[in-house]
Every structure is written in structure tokens, then in C-alpha cells.
Structure 1
């Protein structure tokens, strides 16, 4: 009995492209095929190649029809542990590569049932929201702001659900939106944000949170994405809208700042563990997905009504202006000019003797009726 030829696989770069085209992380592929994440990384870098049944399962996974981003998130809800990150699994050390594990029995993937938009949104929210609230707390140090940021991000996601549902990484879309809202400088103008919240109970947790909050926001975000969520450097750079060298420089600067205050966290594995512990002790809870959807819909209705009212007011003001505005040109009045050569008007002075006699005569000979106007013939 002869063995059939091995299933052909494309090159390492094409393997990485096919994985990203299906909105899968290396951890997702490792969970589906039955190997470690480091093994999948070595396949995509060309150091090793899969063999046997692992190769068959890997090829089948890359060639099966792709699903929407929301369906992929639902399918892998149990495959990704909710430690700190909601978009990728935490790492141990990116410089160490574990040896390839022996292949395991691979079960065929179950077909993904078709979901309504509300069901897909609720599944994505239940999968991402709890971990995302903990991440945002590490980013801001404020519990209420963390919950508010996550709710605002999901409300915007529900408002743009046709766009988010087909996104290659819906969890990353929501995470980036929540981070942007949480780090907005406008929060400083709010009254309740002028007073600090109660710090964590443990002294070590307070020290770590203080160090994180002293970092610039972009450095803090880079450190959280790389050492907390577990994204690789290119993905971290893309989410922070920076180049890969710039993201690497920010990460090194943030690590140095943390290690200078807390030398025991100079090892990346220890820093990741402490971040996970600090995020998990707060017991932060997110709202129900149905509540988030309803609040988003109500807010959208209010904004729509406000926009309609403003439009009607603008149309009314424009109509009133057109009604009352002049419809022809009116020349302006010429400015006054001084006329020279005219004697000034003299004020009346005292009466002369002759004028006094005439005045007395006219007063004594008053005639009533129209005869007064008739001159006498003398």
C-alpha cells in the first residue's frame, strides 16, 4: 500500500495572506488545527512545514469558504481565552519558539448557522465586551469611563453594523473605537472627571496603574496592545496608525519606563501576567447587549429628530429672510454738505413802537367769520 502525495501548500507569505483574508489569528488557526501558536508562526515564516494529518487540516482550513467577520468571531468564541485581549491571545515571549507538537485528531468544522444582525451583534458583544472593559480600565484608570467607552463603541458598531459585520476583524474595529473614545482629551472638561477615582486596593496594583497612567497615551496604548492584548508588532502599528519602527520605539520606551519604576516587570512575561491580574481584580461588568442596542437606537432617533428640527428651523429662517428682504435696489441718501453764503436765521427780537401799536389795533378790531379775510375799502 503506497502513501499518496502530500497536499501542496503555497509559500509562507501566501499562507499568512490566506489566514488574514479569512479574518483568523494565529491562535485561531492553532486551535483549529491542534498545534501551538508558535508552530503556526514558524509555518508562516518558512522555518518548518506541516506534515501528515496536520498538513491536510491546515490546507483545508485555508481553502474553505470564508465567512463574515461576525460569524468568525462567533465560531471562535471558545477558542480564544478571555485573559486581557479580545482580538488575539496573550503571548509568552516572541523571541522563543516552541517545538512543533505532535499532530492531534482534527474534527471537521461544524457549519456556522446563519444569524440575524441582532444575534450576531449580541454574540460579538458577549465575546468582546467583558475583556474590552478591562482593557479600557488599564488604559484610563477610570471604571465608569471604561464602561462608557465600550458601550459607545458598540453603539456605533450597531449603527454601522453592515460595515462592521463584513469587516475582517470586527473585534479590532470595536476595540479601536473604544480606545479612541476613552483617550479623547475632551473628557477633562467633564465635571465628574475632575476628581480621581479610588485606586486599587493592593499596593503593587496601585504602583503598576500609576506607572501606566504616567505614560503618554500613545505609548500606553502600544504597550497594552502588545504586552496585554497580545497583538504582534505590525498589527499594533496598524491599530495605532503608526509605522512599525515607530511602534517598536514606543514599546521599548514604555517598557523602559515601567522597568525603571518596577524592576521586577522588566521581563515581558511578568509584565503580561501583572497586567492580566490588574485587569481581573476590578470585577468590571458591561451592560447587556440588548440594552446597548436599545440605547444606541434611542440616541440615534434623538439625533435624527434634532437634525430634522434644525433643518426645519434653518428653512424657516431662510424663508423669512427672503420674504422681508428688499426686492429692488435703493440708492443710499447722499451725505449732507455745508452751503456757504446764506446768512444765518436771526431769532425774533423785541417789537418796535410801531409794531406794538399795530398789534394792539389788530387785537381790538377782531372780526369773527369770513369777513375777517375781506379787506376794507378805504
Structure 2
């Protein structure tokens, strides 16, 4: 049953505004409609449109009470405000949180699940924690951009996945040694199958079957077309089903992935530690850039001080002189030559300092 054209569905921006005017989060609205939070997010971003009874329920929940017009203060900050999972846990509303409070709330909501997902991607406990910490350090370094993003959790998740799947980790000494596998044989088999999948297939499988994103969202997060994401997912399911036939059912695969991710009891760092690490890293790189700039300026100044001030043309190459007799070895002197030598020696001793030729 479709809705009458007389009551059309609001635009994506208006849907978000109507929901926020009723003080509803995406999770709360999704629970009332009976869909996932990712589905509501896709409706508000315009990537998909509700249909049938879900569309009717969605429109009724948005338009049940008149929505107040947006205030001038809200228009001063463009972009989507950071949403928190449970607003009732905090003394203030999300719109008045400081950057530190908003970052800590996002970290507390996303970090535990992200560590488990990174473990499914990398198979290493230390690398999983490191990936999440580096992703949130990057998010804190670019917090104005992340806070205005439509999906801050997706932004951090993409950064953590990129770090966990980086091929450069194989050159790090501590990652050359294998880690102890899970204790359960079934979990070891599933982790081994995941780690033998190509990284793009593994990431698509975790996003679709582990996180629960739909196909367009999975394609967008993996920076691929919907057809390419569907092909990767199909091949990943075929490989997993060939190794573990009992996981051919997507629901069973989802449950097994959740059990494998939660069985390790991975812990994440505290939000202040992550923020301090981001600031230390920023200071380190700032000092490194300053030191490199000073060294470069010093090298240029030394070059200018020691460089020649005028042009010195190079010496021309030597030329071969024709007609020069070959050098001969000295032989015995004749009587005439001996007399001449004696005369020259006497002239040098008693005569002038300079010899002048005389006519014979």
C-alpha cells in the first residue's frame, strides 16, 4: 500500500529536522518503525526511500506534531550535529556539548564495537586496538570536519578499517610473529577463512554481515559501485560457504561473526588517552616540520655564503703541438760542448747576473 500523493514524503533535510524537533535519535525512531538505525540514516541522507507501511509509519511519526521552525542559532552551524546513542545519559543536550564531551561520547559509543570489527579484519588483538586509537586520534585532529559530518561513526569506522587493512604492517617486527588463535576450534576456522579472503572482500563481508549495513551503504563506505560491492559480497559468501557449509545462511554467519568478535574481550583505551596521543602526535610533527624548515634554511644560507661571487671560465683542453722533435736521452759531451759549459760556469761566477749573447 503506497501513500497518496497528496501527502508526499518530506525532503531528506526536512526529515532530519522533523526528527530532531521531536527530540528523537535515529536509534529511537528506528525502534518505533521496526527497522535498523542504518536504514533511518539512509532515509535521511536520501540514499533510499521508505515504502509501504513503513513509509506511512515514518511520515506519521515525523508529522504527528507541528515542527517548530529552525532557529537562527542552528543555521549558524551548517552540517549535521553529532548524535549520541543515549541523550538521557548526559546532563546536557547534544547541541550544547563541548568538543571534548562530544568526542568522548562518540568514542564511548563506537570504540568497543570498532575494536571487535578491526579484530575480524586483521586477526590481531593489538593491531585492532591500535587501529581504533589511530582512527580516533585522526578524528580528534580533524574534529571540526568530523563533527559536521552526516555520519561521524562511519567516518571513524572507515579510518579504522583503512589502518587495520594497511599492507605496510607486514614489515613491522612485532607483526611478523603470529598471535595465539582463538580457543574454540569453530572460531579458529572462521577466523582463518576471514584472513584468507582478499582485503576488499573481507571488508565488504564485515560491513554487510557483521555491522549490518545495506548494500548501497557498504558500497559507499568501501568506495566502490553497488555492483562491485555485490560481486565482492557474493564471492566472499561462496568462499566462506565452500570452507564452512554451515555458514551459508547469512543469519548464521552474522551470529558467528558476532560470537567471534565478542569472545576475545578486547578493551579500548580511555578517551583522554586517545586525545592526549593525538595532541602529542600533532606536536611531534609540528616540531619535525619546524626542524626540517630550519635545516633547509641553514643549508641554503651556507650555500649562498660559500658560493663563488664571479664566473670563472673553465680551462680549455690542451692542444697537440706539431713539429716538436722527440725527446732524446743525453749522451756524452763533445770537446766543444765541454768548453762551452766551462765558459758558462765561469761567466756565472764572475760575470754579470744576466748573460747576453755575443757575436762570434
Note whether the superposition's TM-score is higher than 0.5.
yes
Q: Who is 2:285 aligned against?
A: 303
Distance 2:7 2:59 in 1: 9
Structure 1 stretch displaced more, 175-184 or 311-320: 311-320
- Indicate if the aligned counterparts of 2:82 and 2:152 stay in contact, CA closer than 8 A: no
Render the CA deviation track for 1:106-132: whole Å, top value 9, x for unaligned.
xxxx94451111111111111111110
Q: For the residues of structure 2 that align with 1:258 and 1:138, how far apart are their CA atoms?
A: 14
Count matched residues. Answer: 331
1:258 deviation in Å?
A: 1.0
Distance change in 2, residues 1:243/1:25 (3 Å) = farther
Unaligned runs of 5+ in 1: 1-7, 79-109
**Which one of 37, 45, 53 corresponds to residue 50 of structure 2?**
45
| 3-state SS of 1:48 partner | helix
Displacement after TM superposition at 1:77 (Å) = 9.0
In the alignment, which of 115, 120, 135 is matched to residue 153 of structure 1?
Answer: 135
Partner of 2:148: 166
State the match for 1:18 in structure 2: 15
By how many angstroms is 1:259 displaced?
1.2
Higher-RCO chain (CA-CA 8 Å, sequence separation at least 6): 1
Deviation at 1:48, TM superposition (A): 1.6
Please give the alpha-carbon distance, in whole angstroms, between the structure 1 residues aligned to 2:64 and 2:285: 48
Contact 1:70/1:120 (<8 A) preserved: no
Q: Is the 8 A contact 1:255 1:266 kept in 2?
A: yes
Distance 1:362 1:325, change over 3 A: closer
Contact 1:187–1:193 (8 Å) recurs in 2: yes
Output the aligned Cα RMSD.
3.6
1:313, CA displacement in angstroms? Answer: 1.1
Partner residue of 1:71 out of 72, 76, 82:
82
Relative to structure 1, the CA distance from residue 344 to residue 62 in structure 2 (aligned partners, 3 Å threshold; closer, same or farther) is farther
Does structure 2 conserve the Cα–Cα contact (< 8 Å) formed by 1:74 and 1:120?
no
TM alignment of 1:1-378, pairs within 5 A: 10-11=8-9, 14=11, 18-19=15-16, 27-31=27-31, 34-37=32-35, 44-48=49-53, 56-59=60-63, 71-75=82-86, 111-112=93-94, 114-356=96-338, 372-373=351-352
- Give the Cα–Cα distance (whole angstroms) in 2 for the partners of residues 242 and 25 of structure 1: 29
Separation (CA, whole Å) in 2 of partners of 1:200 and 1:175: 24
The offset of 1:73, in angstroms, is 2.7
Cα–Cα, structure 1 residues 46 and 15, in superposed 2: closer, same or farther, change >3 Å? farther
Q: Secondary structure at 2:283's aligned position in 1? A: helix
CA distance, structure 1, for counterparts of residue 310 and residue 62 of structure 2:
80
Q: CA deviation at 1:342?
A: 2.4
Residue deviations 1:322-365 (CA, integer Å, cap 9, x gap): 333334443332222111122234443322234445656887x7
TM-score by length of 2: 0.80
C-alpha offsets along residues 74-131 of structure 1, whole Å, 9 cap, x if unaligned?
54698xxxxxxxxxxxxxxxxxxxxxxxxxxxxxxx9445111111111111111111
Deviations 1:125-172 (A, max 9, x none): 111111100000001101111111111111110100110011111110
What is residue 358 of structure 2 aligned with on the other side? Answer: none
Is the 1:134–1:284 contact (alpha carbons within 8 Å) kept by the matching residues of 2?
A: yes
